[in-house]
Amino acid sequence: MSDAAGLDEATIQRLTAAARAVQKQAYAPASEFRVGAAVLAADGREFVGCNVENASYGLTICAERAAVCAAVAAGVREIRAVAVVTDLDEPARPCGACRQVLAEFGKDMAVLLVGRGPAVRLLDLERLLPDAFTFERGS
């Protein structure tokens, strides 16, 4: 299913593979729900992240935010796309906190959601978080 522009098939495959690879590193002793994420920076570089849980549950870091932090630490300020993979049959949706953090780095970001089943969702971040909070003034 698709309502987002601009991600070619090769990019989709590459981002999905990167997210699937890093998913293996997820640290999820509490939920056993493993998530992998890969972001594509505007400069073409890719960065990955996995979820990192904690005995103090509320300190858990989601895969998407881990990937964003890795990108930002390398100097990235604009992200073109993010892929998120889980082991659910249907593609999972990013949590609200991750949507807001992603929105900081790409108004037109493509979001690729991949589960274990054949259905893949490709959509615009604007659809997941319409009218996000930013420091920019609205019209």
- Give the catalytic positions in this structure: 64
Phi, psi of 89 (to 5 degrees): -65, -50
Residue type, 71: A
Residues 6+ apart with CB under 8 A from 98: 62, 64, 65
Using CB under 6 A, count the residues that bind ligand THU: 13
**Binding to ligand THU in span 26-85, by CB under 6 A:** 28, 31, 33, 35, 51, 53, 60, 62-64
Q: Which is nearer to ligand THU, 57 or 135 (CB)?
A: 57
Q: Which is nearer to ligand THU, 62 or 114 (CB)?
A: 62
User: Which has the closest alpha carbon to 22: 47, 45, 5, 2?
Assistant: 47
| Interface with ligand THU (CB under 6 A) | 28, 31, 33, 35, 51, 53, 60, 62-64, 94-95, 98
